[in-house]
Chains A and B, each alone.
Chain A
């Protein structure tokens, strides 16, 4: 019995090893090989509705995981019934007999792992939800098609535009490129973030208006605390708040940082070079300069979640707010929808991250950075699987059909229609308008996308920074220790970046 148990224990580890190694059974050999764009994909351009695109003669089923835009979802928690994407699919199917669009109605608790495992098995969805940072840095290279060649050609479903790229938000396209200048997704929406607050609890504390400045924000949380109300209680997301502060503090150097890769927008290469040059690192006092300022705010919060992983306690903290236990909650533009679903019994308000002044911190440039956190990281972010990640793409003509479907979905009219039906994100493409419910937060999207931060150099960097951030805010380590730990993380991250991307940062 002992022997059996001992062996079983060894077997358990072996099974775990199996989990890691079994994925190697279908190794791709040409990870980065993206198939060339069809030579004449734009041949039918110019005539809306009449163009059949480049779907060719292929017939079959195209699978698509559309995350928050999944139509008629039954298995995805918190997703309202929506039909826009299904309507678009129906129109496509009608124009392309023999092609069926099938939406994946599943909820994935660990999406990154799902993508890794499915891609390793060659079973990734034909079109899948993929945010640019994940596609550029987190997912293995070679799982998504390089869409850049298609962006440079006409989209047959967009009359009047010489290229598909012209119909898109040029800044977003530039900012979301990979270190080697490739675009792996079409990026059509924007998520806004804000401080949401419980108007009833504000009134209870005698506060008549939301804070309009950093000093007022701190004063408001103090008043709430003094009134016996929990002002805020959540794990402050390092990645979110760093973007607010660093985008402000380094606004003067934005062009310099964004220009290292000779391309607009701040890519992971730009970030890595800025870290390497001592700009976005602890040798520049601005880099850690916002931590004590932010701690002034969190000192008025309930301390429960400060040092926790936002991924672990995030839903608890949100539920506390929706249950009326906390007065303010910093979250994305999906929160009003969550509040509606939860039938909250208080009036919900929101206010933006305030513009800082010299009296708040000498490092501020006074830039409005309220839109620096959200950005092009919502759900209309679709990538196409490569043949290595999705073996069905090897079928003759399927890849062209999938790209054609993506071009059909990716028109300004469809972006607006799909994004606005959902109602919690903002369409970003030219010639699109936000839904009425989003107009208050949509002004963030109209700001220039000049967001700065670190995190793109290594997939685990943000998580590790979060650990240090939490320990500092909860008073478990001081600023000197935090600074030293942060620098270690930055050094490790750029070392990893150089090694993984075969880049010598010293040449920039």
Chain B
């Protein structure tokens, strides 16, 4: 192949991927650049922005609401990770240990089918369940546990946990399938050897299954961490951050200062900080996975 032909082939290739790059730059990199610039302005979403230096970031450091939001977000992240890992892993184990493949298929399907329900429906459903006269309190009354009745979304001491814990029994179909596929990838020789060595039941889970599932575990932990930091819909719809600021999270703060206050510049500074944090976590994730592979 001559140099000219090589160049032509290369240019054809670049021409094919050019539209993708244009969209990538326009919709992903340019907005990040805009936000980077906007974070240093007082832009109100309409009028020309004015450069205000680091004022937004200084304000951000002293913002009590953001501080409370960050604490809430940390609680949210930790609990979300536990819920994203433990129940799906246990169910994956149970399904994996079923003898009949047909039964495994049926249970897998049953756990995955609810994925078709839109998330917003689930949130609205749980809002009703959590009402003062909702199903949860009625159920508690029915079984004689009246004393446990709560204002699930109205009490600032428990509202955050109510939102985090909605979705019982917390079997994420996506996570379940990832753990299940991880268990499937354990070679039959290893399992057979473990059985001969007496590693059965919980001993096998602790010694073989969990160590073999580390790559899946890491993936789910990182995705949950990122997802829970970005998760604005549940607190927005269920409580709008209340009572008080008990269910406020940074991304909701960013949304409200931008759309309610019209302080898009300040909102961008929050977004920028969150972007940097999430980018760092993503890089850590990529590094961990790379070292694992």
Contacts and interface: CB of A to CB of B under 8 A. Distances in A.
Given A20-B268, A21-B38, A463-B260, A470 B244 contact: yes
Interface of A: 1-3, 5-7, 9-18, 20-24, 27-29, 31, 110, 112-113, 116, 119-120, 138-143, 302-309, 311-312, 316, 388-389, 458-460, 463, 467-468, 470-471, 474, 476-477
Nearest to B27: A18
A16 B27 CA distance: 10
Contacts of B240: 309, 311-312
Q: Which 5 A-B pairs have the closest CB atoms?
A: A21-B34, A18-B31, A140-B46, A307-B243, A304-B132
A28 B278 contact: no
Contacts of B151: 303-304, 307, 474
Given A14-B31, A142-B46, A9 B243 contact: no
Interface string B40-61: 0001111111000000000000
B46 A10 contact: no
Contacts of B271: 13, 16-17, 20
B282 A7 contact: yes
Interface stretch (B1-9, B102-110, B111-119, B220-228): B220-228
26 contacts: A2-B286, A5-B223, A6-B223, A9-B227, A10-B278, A13-B230, A13-B275, A16-B271, A17-B31, A17-B32, A17-B34, A17-B268, A23-B264, A28-B47, A29-B48, A110-B259, A116-B262, A140-B47, A305-B154, A308-B153, A308-B239, A460-B256, A463-B260, A467-B244, A471-B156, A476-B155
Interface in B126-140: 131-133
A476 B245 CA distance: 12
A9 B34 contact: no
Given A3-B289, A316-B131, A474-B154, A116 B227 contact: no
Given A140-B45, A467-B244, 17 more contacts: A2-B285, A3-B286, A10-B278, A13-B271, A13-B274, A14-B32, A20-B268, A22-B34, A113-B259, A138-B260, A140-B46, A309-B242, A389-B46, A470-B242, A470-B243, A471-B243, A476-B155
A460 B248 CA distance: 15
A6 B34 CA distance: 22
A43 B262 CA distance: 40
B223 A20 contact: no
Contact of A20 (B38, B157, B243, B289): B38
B243 A467 contact: yes
B259 A112 contact: yes
A24 B282 contact: no
B46 A2 contact: no
Contacts of B264: 20, 23-24
B151 to A, nearest CB: 6
A21 B47 CA distance: 13
Interface in B211-233: 219, 222-223, 226-227, 230
Among B30, B32, B259, B262, chain A packs the most CB atoms within 10 A around the CB of: B262
A18 B27 CA distance: 7
A455 to B, nearest CB: 13
Nearest to B274: A13
A395 to B, nearest CB: 21
B267 interface: yes
Contact of B46 (A31, A311, A458): A31
Contacts of A110: 259
B46 A119 contact: yes
A22 B47 contact: no
Given A6-B285, A20-B271, A143-B46, A467 B242 contact: yes
